[in-house]
Amino acid sequence: MSDMNEWLMILILMISAGLWAAGGTRVNDKIDGQKWLRRILLPVILSLLAYTMFHVELWRCIAFALASMVVFSLGYGDKNPWWAFKWDFIDHKPLLPKWLIAALIYAPTAFLGLSWWLVISPAVFLLTFAASQWEPLKKEFVWITVEFLHGFMLGTAMIGAIN
């Protein structure tokens, strides 16, 4: 579908970036990030847009939404190792490596279609995460920027997959 409306692309990018960031960023001491915005609402909205505006088959949209809800719930914070699997003895759960989580976050988009953005997006995810942890950039490259970029890349991957 090469005639995707530019305004619709902008809408997808802004919804994806905005809800991804809002679903993780702590507003203040009393208001934590609203995880349900990222984990539930974002996949539902993107699936509905894919189905209603781009006429993607219903089963693909449902599969995308369900898979996204699962992988968007995976942790990818400071506790997670970069390359190897690790066991968290405090919370008694496995910690997946960041490279795997980066790939998994964008993988559900394959239900909608394939594009190079499924390869590029995880690389951007890892680079922006690393930049936010690197001492010379920590103050300038704040976490909300990383979250916004991750959501933006998710929207980009979706557009690439259905366009």
Contact by Cβ (8 Å): 126, 83: no
Q: What are the tens digits of pLDDT across the range 150-163?
A: 999 999 999 999 98
Q: What is residue 92's predicted lDDT score, i.e. its pLDDT?
A: 72
Closest by Cα among 10, 77, 96, 83 to 49:
10
CB atoms under 10 Å from CB of 13, counted, come to: 18
- The token pair at 39 is 């984990």
CA distances (Å), 113 to each of 107, 109, 137, 157, in order? Answer: 10, 7, 35, 9
- The token pair at 159 is 């557009």
Tell me the pLDDT band of 27, cut-offs 50, 70 and 90: low
Indicate the pTM of the whole model. 0.89
Cα 41 vs. chain centroid, distance in angstroms? Answer: 13
Q: What is residue 65's predicted lDDT score, i.e. its pLDDT?
A: 98
Counting every residue written for the chain, the total comes to: 163
- Checking if the pLDDT of 28 tops 80, the result is no
Tell me the pLDDT band of 2, cut-offs 50, 70 and 90: very low
Tell me the pLDDT band of 133, cut-offs 50, 70 and 90: confident
